Amino acid sequence: MSRERGITGKSVGQRINEHSSVIAVLLLLALGTAAYGMTFLNYKKNLINVLHTASMMGIMGLGVNLCFLIGARDLSVGALAALVSMVTAWLAPRGYLPAILGGLAVGALFGACNGVIVGMFKVQPFIATLGTQLAARGFALLINKELSISLGSSAPQLKYIGNGNLFGLIPIPAFIFITLIILLSWILKYRDFGRGVYAVGGDENSAEMMGIHVVRTKIIVFTISGLMAAASGIVLCGRLSAGQPTACEGWEMTIMAAVVLGGTSVRGGIGRIHGIFLGCLFVTFITNLINLNGHISAYWKDIITGIVLLIAVLAQVYGDRQKEKIKHG
Amino acid sequence: MHLENQVLLEMKQISKTFPGVKALKNVHFKVHKGEVMAFMGENGAGKSTLIKIITGYYRRDPGEGQFLFDGKEVNPRNTDEAQKLGISTIFQELNLSPYLSVAENIYIGNTPKKKGMIDWDTMNQNAKKALLDLGVDIDVTAQLSLQSTAIQQMVSIARALARNTKLLIMDEATSSLDTGEVKVLFDVVRALKSRGIATIFVTHKMDEIYQVCDSATIFKDGEYVDCLPLDQLPKLKLISLMIGRDASELVNKRKIYDPEKVKGEVICRVEGVQKANHRLNGINLEIHKGEVLGLSGLLGSGRTETAKVIFGDDVHYDGEVYMGQTAIRFKCPADAMKKGLAFCSEDRKAEGIFPYMSVQDNLTMTILSKISRFGILNKREQQKRTLEYIQKIAIKTPGPSTKIKDLSGGNQQKVILSRWLATHPDLIILDEPTRGIDVGAKGEIEDLIKQISDSGISVLYISSELDELVRECDRIVILHNGKNVGELLNEEISSDAIMDVIAHGRIDT
């Protein structure tokens, strides 16, 4: 806990950087309320949907966030989620448990592949995961000849995972998302593996010299990322009541934006896992506000996200520079 | 002379082959408990490779060799395994994790735990104590990258001590420390010695070895040469063993001054240069044609800062720089190059070489436009120029297309020097040109500097090594806190005189 001490002496840039997503989300909430009043604030009719979508994106984003922390990228998550949604739907007639386990297994397998290619064969993560992205999307389309697979009446539990609410209040995906955030935050803070993630992201060679198993850390991180994408895919399958081979196209990019908005450094080694929560909320709120309006083109979503992302990254760079000044000052 | 005559580490018949190079050939040596041993040898002698094998970073060639540690045969497969055996290393380039806290950097991989969870409070307390033992009092929860280099070096020492270390290896660990900090470090080494912990010490600074080491093992070209107690090994003999020839000539060499040089035409003049951050507080220099002007002073006295102002790398300053008679304000180094300036940075790795490019590409980097026609590079001309310098300056490289990272430090430096000589400069600024270079190559580079100056090129020579300044310079200007405090001319120059000026902060001229 004591690491959080010493707030004094931080520059404006650093503070903006650290809390960029909170500021952004609050601004959007204010904007939404001002523009649409109760239509926007109605929890059951509107906000719950935002939470729902943000969670699906966020579960995937957890893995991507971990990859960012070790200074890597994972471009395969969107395609992998689509593939897992297909596998899950395909296995659903055998019961929900085989479907979920099968889905997770596929995710872990692809993730581990990424990890081995990046860790052991030292391929640039960007390229390696681009390869698995294409492969995963290909498999997803291959399974049912480019068509989706409907769940029909099999495995109703899956539909509950996708659409159900705890106490009629918290969407199950949001529950899963928050549980995973807590779990991963705990691992990052209190387990050697977690600290190793930061060390690898900070400086790989140093980490190696300090006795941290860099390759192993990378493989585990990518496997977790695969598992998270798979969890997302399973939720997606339940939500749509079908496996959808073309789902989540382009999500990896939006998610990367959400990760950076959440305060994770683009260079690795800095950031906290819960940032992704606000990052995803932000991205989803923008879509939500535009949908509520009905007149503004949906493309504004990307434009606004892009501009805010650039501001966040600039704040990061500015923050770094301030730190340098403190160091040499 | 050893506390206990027990062997801690013994290596027999160790070899290591890299693609195309045999870096170590049947090397053997012993370290006793509580012994402080120096590893000596020129760059490329195999010291670093051997250390990396001991620390598990490299694995030795399989075969007949043996690696015995604490009485058992071991073969650490990675740094973690070596650290668990009790072998810790402090490297020249800090190997710490920049964004973790100071405390974590000391304990990562070995964190105190409570119920399987990292116990942050205990860790922070232990770290605080460990650093206080080394005389460092800082907030251990602060991010490591915000600390100064010296403090970071202390952190890496604390890290090594926090483990059950039996053998501590220091690979050029003192290169970024000032005299006071080095003293603290040596006190630590002596304290460890009394606890029976052995230290292997690698450094280019001879004086340090005689201050702290018991014995020296000498390597040359990947082979074991000899191991002697230091009281039986005078400096000259040590150097001779390292470079494999008689060194007295090099050490006792005395510069023959040409008094005309320091009276030549002034080609560059610096007047009252200061910076808002007070790194420079009024520097005045005159550089004459063909002289070697030394800039001396402690770390932080403004030597490099002055050089960067002259070269147009730092444009935020007050005061004037004149080239010849005209005041000039360079916007960038490229501007300065056009006016006949050259600058060889002290940080070869970060500001000198392009490690993955060939010798040829590195060497001709500054003259690409001269050897191109219509914007297209003339490869044959490029190779011709490179071969010319390889021959003229005796750069040891398998060929012009070898990647520069595969050359030794001394040869890399020769390539960088050639890169600047190829621009035919009027003034070449050399910032610590012999840093991290072995004795033999140092001598060659010093000879080269003499040739440069004789051919009419002025040299601004920055160095922390007083011996070198004394051997090389026609005139020395001493800086202190960003101001010039003294000047020594020809025969006045000696190590004592320089130190005297630094100590008193001024001289009566």
Number of domains observed in the structure of chain A: 1
In angstroms, the Cα distances linking B164 to B33, B135, B192, B193 are: 14, 21, 12, 14
- Partners of B274 in beta bridges: B281, B318
Closest CB to B97 among A189, A206, A213: A206
- In this complex, do B117 and A190 lie within 8 Å of one another by their Cβ atoms? yes
Closest CB to A205 among B89, B95, B139: B95
Q: Are residues B487 and B394 in the same domain?
A: no
pLDDT more than 90, % of chain A: 45
Give the residue from B251, B266, B291 where a domain finishes.
Answer: B251
Residue B154 has pLDDT above 80, yes or no: yes
Q: Are residues B509 and B360 in the same domain?
A: no
Q: How far apart are CA B200 and CA B27, in angstroms?
A: 16
The reply to whether A2 touches chain B by the CB within 8 Å rule is yes
Question: For B442-459, what is each residue's pLDDT tens digit?
Answer: 888 888 888 888 888 899
Classify residue B434: in a domain, yes or no.
yes
Residue B2 has pLDDT above 90, yes or no: no
Q: Are residues B65 and B166 in the same domain?
A: yes
Nearest to B107 by CA among B161, B53, B179: B161
Q: What is the pLDDT of residue A6?
A: 39
Chain B CB contacts of A269 under 8 Å are 97-99
Q: Are residues B119 and B165 in the same domain?
A: yes
Give the residue from B372, B396, B424 where a domain finishes.
Answer: B424
Q: What is the CATH number of the domain that holds A100?
A: 1.10.3470
Residue B16 has pLDDT above 80, yes or no: yes
Nearest-CA residue of chain A relative to B107? A210
Q: Give the model's confidence band at B3: pLDDT under 50 very low, under 70 low, under 90 confident, else very high.
A: very low
Closest CB to B98 among A6, A209, A269: A269
Question: For A191-226, what is each residue's pLDDT tens digit?
Answer: 999 999 999 998 888 888 888 899 999 999 999 999
Chain A CB contacts of B158 under 8 Å are none
Q: Are residues B121 and B260 in the same domain?
A: no
Nearest-CA distance B356 → chain A (Å): 17
Asked if residue A79 lies in contact with residue A140, where contact means CB atoms within 8 angstroms, the answer is: yes
Q: What is the pLDDT of residue B505?
A: 61
Chain B CB contacts of A1 under 8 Å are 120
Q: Are residues B324 and B468 in the same domain?
A: yes
User: Three-class SS string for B263-309?
Assistant: HCCEEEEEEEEECCCCCCEEEEEEEECCCEEEEECCCCCCHHHHHHH
Question: For A10-66, what is each residue's pLDDT tens digit?
Answer: 556 556 656 666 777 778 788 877 777 777 777 777 888 888 889 999 999 999 999
Find the range with the poorest average confidence among B101-115, B172-186, B236-250, B445-459. Answer: B236-250
- Test mutation, A4, A187, A209, chain B, max B CBs within 10 A: A209
What's the half-sphere exposure (Cβ side, CA atoms, 13 Å) at B268? 27
- In this complex, do A210 and B146 lie within 8 Å of one another by their Cβ atoms? no
Nearest-CA distance A273 → chain B (Å): 15
Domain enclosing residue B332, as ranges: 255-340+426-509
Q: Rounded to a whole number, what is the distance in angstroms from the first to the last CA of chain B?
A: 50
Number of domains observed in the structure of chain B: 3
- In this complex, do B139 and A6 lie within 8 Å of one another by their Cβ atoms? yes
Chain B CB contacts of A201 under 8 Å are 99
Residue B508 has pLDDT above 60, yes or no: no
Q: Give the model's confidence band at A3: pLDDT under 50 very low, under 70 low, under 90 confident, else very high.
A: very low
Q: What is the CATH number of the domain that holds B245?
A: 3.40.50.300
Measured in whole angstroms, the distance separating CA A289 from the mean position of its chain's CA atoms is: 21
Q: Which residue has the higher pLDDT, B146 or B262?
A: B146
ipTM: 0.78
B455 three-state secondary structure: coil
Nearest-CA distance A207 → chain B (Å): 7
DSSP, res A47: I
- In this complex, do A210 and B97 lie within 8 Å of one another by their Cβ atoms? yes
Q: Are residues B419 and B373 in the same domain?
A: yes
Q: How far apart are CA A278 and CA B461, in angstroms?
A: 55
Residue A322 has pLDDT above 80, yes or no: no
The reply to whether A192 touches chain B by the CB within 8 Å rule is yes
Chain B CB contacts of A266 under 8 Å are none
Q: Give the model's confidence band at A274: pLDDT under 50 very low, under 70 low, under 90 confident, else very high.
A: confident
Question: For A304-318, what is each residue's pLDDT tens digit?
Answer: 878 877 887 787 777
Q: Which residue has the higher pLDDT, B480 or A248?
A: A248
Q: How far apart are CA A76 and CA A134, in angstroms?
A: 8
Nearest to A92 by CA among A82, A107, A106, A103: A103
Chain B CB contacts of A212 under 8 Å are 80, 108-109
Q: How far apart are CA B56 and CA B77, in angstroms?
A: 5
Chain A CB contacts of B109 under 8 Å are 192, 196, 210-212
Question: For A111-141, what is each residue's pLDDT tens digit?
Answer: 999 999 999 999 999 999 999 999 999 999 9
Q: Give the model's confidence band at B246: pLDDT under 50 very low, under 70 low, under 90 confident, else very high.
A: low
Nearest-CA distance A182 → chain B (Å): 15
Give the residue from B424, B449, B473 where a domain finishes.
Answer: B424
Q: What is the mean pLDDT of residues A263-275?
A: 85
A249 three-state secondary structure: coil
Q: Are residues B31 and B174 in the same domain?
A: yes
Q: Give the model's confidence band at A5: pLDDT under 50 very low, under 70 low, under 90 confident, else very high.
A: very low
Q: Give the model's confidence band at A291: pLDDT under 50 very low, under 70 low, under 90 confident, else very high.
A: confident
Residue B267 has pLDDT above 50, yes or no: yes
Size of interface A-B (CB pairs under 8 A): 89
Residue B495 has pLDDT above 80, yes or no: no
Chain B CB contacts of A192 under 8 Å are 108-109, 111, 118
Q: What is the mean pLDDT of residues B236-258?
A: 66
The reply to whether A208 touches chain B by the CB within 8 Å rule is yes
Q: What is the pLDDT of residue A8?
A: 43
Q: What is the mean pLDDT of residues B345-349?
A: 80
Residue B211 has pLDDT above 90, yes or no: no
The letter for the amino acid at B360 is Q
Classify residue B19: in a domain, yes or no.
yes
Q: Are residues B242 and B275 in the same domain?
A: no
Chain A CB contacts of B151 under 8 Å are none
Q: Are residues B202 and B136 in the same domain?
A: yes
Question: For A139-169, what is each residue's pLDDT tens digit?
Answer: 999 998 889 898 888 888 889 888 888 887 8
pLDDT, chain B, mean: 83
pLDDT more than 90, % of chain B: 8
B219 three-state secondary structure: strand
Residue B44 has pLDDT above 70, yes or no: no
Find the range with the poorest average confidence among A116-125, B56-65, B95-104. Answer: B56-65
Q: Give the model's confidence band at B329: pLDDT under 50 very low, under 70 low, under 90 confident, else very high.
A: confident
Chain A CB contacts of B108 under 8 Å are 192, 195-196, 199, 210, 212
Domain enclosing residue A267, as ranges: 2-328
Classify residue B2: in a domain, yes or no.
no
Q: Are residues B352 and B499 in the same domain?
A: no
Nearest to B438 by CA among B43, B172, B174, B171: B43
- In this complex, do B97 and A207 lie within 8 Å of one another by their Cβ atoms? yes
Classify residue B1: in a domain, yes or no.
no
B interface with A, Cβ–Cβ < 8 A, is 55, 57, 78-80, 82-83, 89, 91, 94-101, 104-105, 108-109, 111, 117-118, 120-121, 124, 139, 141-142, 145-148, 159
Q: Give the model's confidence band at B20: pLDDT under 50 very low, under 70 low, under 90 confident, else very high.
A: low
- In this complex, do B99 and A213 lie within 8 Å of one another by their Cβ atoms? no
Q: Are residues B389 and B504 in the same domain?
A: no
Chain B CB contacts of A199 under 8 Å are 97, 100, 108
Closest CB to A202 among B97, B121, B159: B97
In angstroms, the Cα distances linking B507 to A201, B272, B471 are: 51, 19, 21
